[in-house]
Amino acid sequence: MRFDIITLFPELFAPLLTSGITRRAYESGLVEVHFWNPRDHAEGRYRRVDDRSFGGGPGMVMLAEPLFKCLTAIRAERQETSPAPLVLFSPIGQTLNHGAVEQWSASAGAVMLCGRYEGVDQRFIDQYVDQQISLGDFVLSGGEIAAMALLDAVARLQPGVLGDEGSHQLDSFNPALDGLLDSPHYTRPEVWQGHAVPAELMSGHHAHIARWRREQSLSLTAMHRPDLLEQARQAGCLNRQDDAFLKQSLASMTGAKEPPSGEKL
């Protein structure tokens, strides 16, 4: 797959492409990444890529023309019968989640526009942007960090990138975990600062270990992301044992909150 990234700061991506385990995806060509600077397609002595906003107000707006010329050059080089989608990272976009990452990881790639300043001239967005993506309800200085997040998430799903082929299948939000949060993890030493590894993980009994992890996953999801738990229930992913455990856990938590008999509040 190929990603063409339109950015004024391509140098920001260097550590992502050369560090960590996901670098295998880029070095092997599983994920091709090409950078395009709109300033190379701007006119005038200063190759200006932004200007003041009509109507006044603070900040600058990215000019449509350099972006159009940059996109035209990308389309010419990609030579696709079916043009790859142009993605803009924007607060109004759909929030990126695991399902979307899986779809991108199985795609041919995209052209990603990293906005800067107050944003991009709306006429370019209306005319050429196919999809908008957000990381969440906050604002970044530019789209580069969002683009890196998508690249990293996609790269680690490619075959052979992670050391263990099944590693990502046990990640939080993965369908293999019914979309729930992952369970806690422990390593050596067995006792650290007086705290021992849970006995279930030391039992060597694979069925008991699997059940412990499932229950931990259910507990964490119920506590921190009840929306994911409800989605799993609606999808029919919870069995009777799961429901019984959750009911018992809820009763235990409720009981712990009740004051002892005779205690005044």
91 is catalytic: yes
Q: Which of the following is catalytic: 50, 116, 156, 178?
A: 156
118 is catalytic: yes
Residue 97 main-chain phi, psi, to 5 deg: -140, 180
Q: Which of the following is catalytic: 83, 91, 184, 198?
A: 91
Residues 17 and 20: their CA atoms lie apart, in Å, by 8
171 is catalytic: yes
Q: Which of the following is catalytic: 171, 182, 225, 233?
A: 171
The angle subtended at Cα 104 by Cα 103 and Cα 105, nearest 5°, is: 90
Positive/negative CA dihedral, 35, 40, 42, 48: positive
State the greatest distance between any 2 C-alpha atoms of the chain, in Å, as a whole number. Answer: 83
189 is catalytic: no
Q: Which of the following is catalytic: 65, 102, 118, 182?
A: 118
Unique residue bearing structure tokens 């080089």: 77
Report which of 25, 33, 28, 26 is spatially closest to residue 5, judged by C-alpha positions: 33
* Active-site residue list: 91, 118, 156, 171
